[in-house]
Amino acid sequence: MTNVGEIVARFEQFAPQNWAEDGDPVGLQLGDLKQTVHKMMVTLDVRPEVVDEAIKNNVDFIFAHHPVIFRPIKKFDLADPQNKMYASLIKHNITVYTAHTNLDNAPNGMNDWLADLLELSKREPLLKEHEESLLKLAVFVPKKAAAKLRNALTTAGAGQIGDYLDCSYTLSGIGRFTPQKDSHPTIGKKLEPTEVAEEKIEVVFPQKLRSKILKTLRIVHPYEEPAFDLFEIQGNGIKYGMGRVGNLEHEMSVTEFAKYCQAKFKIAHLRIVTDDLEKRVKKIAILGGSGGQFYREALKKEVDVYVTGDISYHTGHDIIANGLVAVDPGHHIEQICKPYLQELFSKWNAENSWKIEVLQSKLITDPFIFI
């Protein structure tokens, strides 16, 4: 049987919570990480109609991009539709987890999915790039216990390098020690020099997992005092950042590019912020969601067009005044996350033998209708 915590742990190897922007309420929103999962559903938003869809499909776990609870609940008045929705989730034992800006920042996450759709090449993050520092653990263990320790360390999150999991390196050698009178040796006798055939296991892991990895090491290692080295690896950590900047294959006019966006995002309407519809464009910045306030970062990257949602009236004026073009296809284009998340969880489902069913919400949660 698979529980929510197991599924979340695998996802957080892909997009850890600490990659989220400050104050973003990501992670468990409602429910229990220990809850058994038979069916999970991925969605952009958790709205009352989405919860009804989950109940109808006997879903145990909803995985959403947009947080359900942005602000603390002060009164749990069920006359409020939002509170009534929470009560329905609790009544039907549905756990809700959110990955918001950590998924936006993740390599091969939300903003790469959007950039893929626009077929942008030579990409880089739009906003400041961060780097997850890596540590390398070298631990010495008796040969008979090596496989058990290595598996425990990789299960705890060590050994991921890019798209590869369970990475480790092993050397064989001889360990020597003399247990003292107050020791409790697993191998050898007190006050007698001892030699043991050992393996040296090396694995890398993110700094954020330091406590978890060392705790696992001490629990699983057979020695009373495990021998190990811990090193910081410089300049080789996972890089992540918000938004993407890249190039179109061919130069287009603003009008042509806007129609290109309509076709790619499968939307009937979008807004264009420009004073010249015939201006030629090729270098594009895109940031999913509501990113109008970051247009200055697009200017610094010297892009031709900034694509993002929810651009306000006065920000639109400022964009034109600075000689930038913007295309606002709406916030809801982030619905692209649903098929991508379904594909990711289905892949992990097969790899980990979870034996769960992964659905994607079929509902359109865009609140706007254009007439």
Which is it for the CA torsion 87, 88, 94, 98, positive or negative? Answer: negative
Residue 230 to residue 169: CA distance in whole angstroms: 15
Q: Is 12 helix (H, G, I), strand (E, B) or coil?
A: helix
How far is C-alpha 164 from the chain's CA centre?
16
Cβ count within 10 A of residue 197: 11
Residue 95 to residue 40: CA distance in whole angstroms: 9
Residue 205 to residue 137: CA distance in whole angstroms: 8
Residue 269 to residue 267: CA distance in whole angstroms: 6
Cβ count within 10 A of residue 321: 9
| Structural domains of the chain in order of their starting residue, each with its CATH number | 2-105+335-360 (3.40.1390.30), 110-129+242-329 (3.40.1390.30), 131-240 (3.30.70.120)
Helix 337-352 to helix 110-117 angle (10° resolution) is 120
pLDDT of 161: 82
pTM over 0.75: yes
Closest Cα partner for 110 from 5, 240, 23? Answer: 240
Which helix (H) or strand (E) element contains residue 251?
strand 244-253
pLDDT of 270: 97
Distances (CA, A) of 105 to 52, 145, 165, 314, 332: 30, 39, 21, 27, 18
Residue 261 to residue 267: CA distance in whole angstroms: 8
Question: Is 332 flagged in the annotation as binding?
Answer: no
Condensed to tens digits (0 to 9), the pLDDT of residues 215-272 reads 999 999 999 999 999 998 876 778 899 999 999 999 999 999 999 999 999 999 999 9
Q: Which residues touch 147 (CB under 8 Å, ≥6 apart)?
A: none
Closest Cα partner for 83 from 72, 93, 67, 98? Answer: 72
Residue 61 to residue 42: CA distance in whole angstroms: 9
Q: Is 206 helix (H, G, I), strand (E, B) or coil?
A: strand
pLDDT of 71: 81
pLDDT of 261: 98
Name the H helices within 31-185.
Answer: 48-56, 81-91, 101-105, 110-117, 143-155
For the chain, which ranges sit under pLDDT 50?
none
Between CA 295 and CA 300, with CA 297 as vertex, the angle to 5 degrees is: 115
Question: Is 104 flagged in the annotation as binding?
Answer: yes
CB 306 within 8 A of CB 285: yes
Distances (CA, A) of 186 to 225, 227, 301: 10, 14, 60
Q: How many helices (H) and strands (E) does the chain have?
A: 11, 17
pLDDT of 284: 98
Question: Is 66 flagged in the annotation as binding?
Answer: yes
